[in-house]
Amino acid sequence: MLDDFMMRATLAGLGVACAAAPLGSFVVWRRMAYFGDATAHAAVLGVALSLALQISVFAGAMAVALVMALTVTLLTGRGYAMDTLLGVLAHSALAFGLVAVSFLSGIRIDLMAYLFGDILAVSRTDLAVIWGGAALVVGLIGWRWSGLLTATLNEDLAHASGIDPKREKLILTLALAITVAVAIKVVGVLLIAAMLIIPAAAARPLSRTPEGMALTAAVLGAVSAVAGLRAAYVFDTPAGPSIVCVAALCFALTSLTSSVWRSG
Amino acid sequence: MSLISLRGLSVRYGAVTVLHDVTMEIAPGEIVTVVGPNGSGKTSLLRAIIGAVAPAKGRVVHKPGLRIGYVPQRLHIDPTLPMTVERFLRLPGGTPKGACAEALETAGVPDLARRQMSGLSGGQFQRVLLARALINRPDVILLDEATQGLDQPGSAAFYRRIEEVRRETGCAVLMISHELHVVMSASDRVICLNGHVCCEGTPEKVSSAPEYRALFGSGTGGALALYRHDHDHAHDGACDHGHGHDHGHGHDQTEAAE
């Protein structure tokens, strides 16, 4: 079964959709969309470093994404607005990453594969890494779900319930770094944020509870992955962007439906 | 043994000291109200008690196993976060459904469980916050200006509810309020705060204390000022749903400016 590249690609897409759904919901609720974007951009530097040092791309991307996310978390509230800080760090990391890649003359690397993903080239090892990472993210968020949700709602409310909002934030940051590293192969660094945000946003009009929204986001993400890959196969379009396009259509559809519902 | 005791508590944000040398105790079952002007450290006091801000000096001691119900000053729920009243009450988890219905009943809003938080009116929202604070059968409830945004009858009803809750459950209440006349009638003890404890005692004692008068005016002059202040509040609350009662000229001008 795993011999078929389409099958491996589909499984990889489903793995990323599973991890991205609950995490993406938190990204939407906490208004961290740009934070996710910045972390993903920084991962390019991680890719370059891991190629230079000849370590696993997954590990390198994750390490740099984590450092980036932690730096932003630490620096927030020290004189610069969050979006300024993210703009500075994300684009510098991307630029340094691109420059660093150019020094690696010995190895010919297809940078496009990391910017836009190369889901059709997913190997069995990649698949194991993706599903391992996804399971880790889902487990982490599931384990801390109530605490994360309370801290997202209101930090003082969390304190009063004996929850430390800083620790919860750290867990989200960690989950984000893992997801970025895992999703590079599938949709690439430029479109990771899309996989996080779009299914969650599309799920919002259909949901009454936070849990419902995360589950619906997972379903919509999975549908996008499967349908996007199919479309890429039929129309011979790039796979990662096709997946994001289907997710965007889902978003348009649910938003329209809900506005018709309300006015009708 | 007292539920909460603060010993020489100081709280600082950067270089600014907002509270210094505050020593106080909350005994089981009493209603204590903190009054004080803006910036007097009232909210910081509550935040220090729940552990949201670390003391720069001094100690906050809780009775072992103390359960706190906290009603924050303002709670903004992002519109992207779908949340039914029932789900909100069950945060951070482990609360059975029966307890939710009971808490809503106690807070005076029994029929809201299935509603979305974003669809509640101001008064309903505050009562749901109260219900959530009550749900784990707390030893003490902390209320931070819980009636902000409610009109006068609404806030009076809210405070009556608090008194009833105290009578029914026997929990202590520590609240911050701007509505001094309500505070004076409902509290066992009033603490007047302005960076430090200016004075404290029974409502009668505090309202006649010179420190209190220095902050809030004195005699009938003070009472009149308070009355006007309250009238403004009623006006703010009534804006959203028409103007049933007569306003003075001053208010009409305010309306024109809005």
pLDDT digits (tens, 9 = 90+) for A28-72: 999 888 888 888 888 888 888 888 888 888 889 889 988 988 888
- Name the pLDDT band for A224 (thresholds 50, 70, 90): very high
**A30 → chain B, closest CA residue:** B78
Distance from CA of A162 to the nearest CA of B (A): 8
Q: What are phi and psi of A190, to 5 degrees?
A: -75, -20
- Name the pLDDT band for A249 (thresholds 50, 70, 90): very high
Angle at B107 between CA B105 and CA B111, to 5 degrees: 45
State how far Cα B14 lies from the chain centre: 26
Nearest one of A172, A171, A150, A152 to A161, comparing CA atoms:
A150
Query: CB distance from B14 to chain A under 8 Å?
Result: no
Nearest one of B117, B171, B168, B140 to B70, comparing CA atoms:
B140
> What pLDDT shows up at residue A40?
87
What percent of chain A is predicted at pLDDT more than 90?
44
Q: For each of chain B's 258 residues, which pLDDT tens digit applies?
A: 789 999 999 999 888 899 999 999 999 999 999 988 888 888 899 999 998 888 999 999 999 988 888 988 778 888 899 999 988 988 876 677 778 888 888 888 888 888 998 888 888 888 898 888 888 888 999 998 888 777 778 788 888 888 888 888 889 999 988 767 666 677 889 898 888 888 888 888 887 788 877 777 654 444 434 433 343 333 443 334 444 444 444 433 333 333
**A207 → chain B, closest CA residue:** B82
> What pLDDT shows up at residue A109?
64
Those of residues 196-215 in B touching chain A at CB distance below 8 A are none
Which has the higher per-residue pLDDT, A261 or A135? A135
State how far Cα A259 lies from the chain centre: 28
Model confidence pLDDT, tens digit, residues A86-137 = 888 888 888 888 888 788 766 666 777 888 888 888 889 889 999 999 999 9
Distance from CA of A203 to the nearest CA of B (A): 10
> What pLDDT shows up at residue A77?
65
Query: Does A160 sit within 8 Å of B84, measured CB to CB?
Result: no
Query: CB distance from B52 to chain A under 8 Å?
Result: yes
- Residues of chain B with Cβ-Cβ distance to A157 below 8 Å are 70, 72, 75
Contact B234, B151 (CB under 8 A): yes
State how far Cα A78 lies from the chain centre: 27
Distance from CA of B145 to the nearest CA of A (A): 14
Determine which helix (DSSP H) or strand (DSSP E) holds B198, and give its type and residue range: strand B197-201
Question: H helices of B13-121, where?
Answer: 42-50, 85-89, 97-107
> What pLDDT shows up at residue B148?
77
> What pLDDT shows up at residue B152?
79
> What pLDDT shows up at residue A75?
80
Query: CB distance from B77 to chain A under 8 Å?
Result: yes
Which has the higher per-residue pLDDT, A262 or B91? B91
CB A52: neighbour CB atoms within 10 A? 15
**B118 → chain A, closest CA residue:** A208
Q: Give the SS3 label for residue B209.
A: coil
Determine the Cα–Cα distance for residues A13 and A119; give it in Å rounded to an integer.
Answer: 8
Query: Does B72 sit within 8 Å of A154, measured CB to CB?
Result: yes
Query: CB distance from A149 to chain B under 8 Å?
Result: yes
Determine the Cα–Cα distance for residues B141 and B109; give it in Å rounded to an integer.
Answer: 18
Contact B133, B141 (CB under 8 A): yes
Query: Does A160 sit within 8 Å of B142, measured CB to CB?
Result: yes
> What pLDDT shows up at residue B183?
67
Is there a cis peptide before residue B92, judged by omega within 30 degrees of 0?
yes
> What pLDDT shows up at residue A108?
60
Determine the Cα–Cα distance for residues B200 and B193; give it in Å rounded to an integer.
Answer: 9
Across the interface, which of B50, B78, B92 has its CB nearest the CB of A156? B50
Which residues are A130's β-sheet partners?
none
Query: Does A149 sit within 8 Å of B91, measured CB to CB?
Result: yes
Determine which helix (DSSP H) or strand (DSSP E) holds A126, and give its type and residue range: helix A124-143
CB B183: neighbour CB atoms within 10 A? 21
Q: Structure pTM? A: 0.82
Model confidence pLDDT, tens digit, residues A154-178 = 888 888 888 898 899 889 989 999 9
Across the interface, which of B81, B92, B116 has its CB nearest the CB of A163? B92
Burial of B119 (0-12, 13-18, 19+ CB in 10 A): exposed
- Name the pLDDT band for A259 (thresholds 50, 70, 90): confident
Nearest one of A8, A4, A102, A123 to A48, comparing CA atoms:
A102
Query: Under 8 Å CB-to-CB from A19, ≥6 apart: which residues?
Result: A133, A134, A137, A138, A175, A178, A179, A182, A183
- Residues of chain B with Cβ-Cβ distance to A155 below 8 Å are 52
Query: CB distance from B72 to chain A under 8 Å?
Result: yes
Query: Under 8 Å CB-to-CB from B10, ≥6 apart: which residues?
Result: B17, B19, B20, B21, B22, B55, B56, B57, B58
Angle at A82 between CA A192 and CA B53, to 5 degrees: 115
